[in-house]
């Protein structure tokens, strides 16, 4: 247990902290981009879905970024502690940070006299953040390119802005503004699946498709 706590401490300082600080900066910019005072439920949902949920991309997508360098990756894989365990520790820290930041922002909105169902909006925002972050994390695991990992969830976000409601249906990102929470359940489940697949994909490829794995440098 002490070893895992030490891994978490090192990860918090070297890996998570930059993403955490960037997320805090983004949340502090929200009053400049979108009003956050005396909002009704629909406008509050717009702030949470179109702005706050984006920190899921920032916190979850780069979980395995330190291993982008093959030499570092080989060194980590040679250690006694499995790289899967290390990634799980990073993932837990990222999700806990995500939950705390969203919760803090919900309190901030209430203090600014916004009227909305707090628990539903908190869970809905967290579900969306997990989904878009899961897209980025899964994409990084498959393509091993951080640019693609950030681009794909942003493309999904852009698609949701215009034709998304009819096109994406149950996986539409901005459903809370219309008073619908069903979509958030699907997003949460899909986000968890994407994250699990992202964790397992490199090892599935390495075990069952070793030649392709080595040739394409997927991990």
User: Does residue 3 register a pLDDT over 70?
Assistant: no
Q: Which residues, including other chains, have CB under 8 Å from residue 31's CB and lie 6 or more apart?
A: none
How many domains would you assign to the chain? 1
**Which residues constitute the domain of residue 33?**
2-216
Mean pLDDT in residue range 171-178: 94
User: Does residue 106 register a pLDDT over 90?
Assistant: yes
User: Does residue 85 register a pLDDT over 70?
Assistant: yes
What tens digit of pLDDT does each residue of 55-72 get? 999 999 998 887 665 555
Query: How much of the chain, in percent, has pLDDT values that exceed 90?
Result: 59
User: Do 207 and 213 touch, CB atoms closer than 8 A?
Assistant: no
55: region left, alpha or beta (phi > 0 left; psi from -120 to 50 alpha): alpha
Average pLDDT, the chain: 85
Tokens of 142: 């498959």
pLDDT classification of 54: cutoffs 50, 70, 90: very high
Q: Best-predicted range by mean pLDDT among 33-47, 60-74, 134-148, 182-196?
A: 182-196
Q: Let me know how long the chain is.
A: 219
CA distance 48 to 20: 18
Residue 174 phi, psi (nearest 5): -110, 45
CA distance 55 to 131: 11
User: Do 39 and 116 touch, CB atoms closer than 8 A?
Assistant: yes
CA distance 9 to 42: 39
């Amino acid at each position: 247990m002490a070893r895992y706590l030490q891994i978490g401490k090192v990860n918090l300082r070297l890996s998570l902290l930059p993403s955490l600080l960037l997320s805090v900066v983004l949340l502090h910019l929200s009053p400049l981009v979108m009003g956050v005072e005396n909002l009704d439920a629909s406008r509050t949902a717009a702030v949470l879905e179109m702005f706050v949920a984006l920190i899921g991309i920032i916190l979850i997508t780069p979980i395995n970024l330190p291993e982008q360098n093959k030499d570092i990756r080989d060194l980590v894989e040679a250690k006694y502690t499995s790289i899967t365990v290390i990634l799980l520790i990073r993932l837990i820290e990222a999700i806990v940070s995500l939950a705390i930041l969203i919760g803090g922002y919900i309190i901030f909105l209430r203090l600014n006299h916004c009227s909305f169902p707090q628990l539903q909006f908190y869970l809905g925002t967290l579900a969306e953040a997990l989904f878009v972050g899961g897209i980025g994390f899964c994409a990084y695991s498959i393509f091993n390119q951080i640019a693609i990992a950030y681009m794909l969830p942003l493309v999904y976000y852009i698609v949701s802005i215009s034709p998304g409601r009819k096109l994406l249906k149950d996986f539409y990102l901005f459903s809370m503004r219309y008073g619908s929470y069903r979509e958030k359940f699907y997003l949460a489940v899909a986000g968890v699946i994407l994250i699990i697949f992202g964790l397992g994909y490199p090892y599935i490829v390495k075990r069952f498709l070793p030649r392709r794995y080595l040739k394409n440098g997927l991990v």
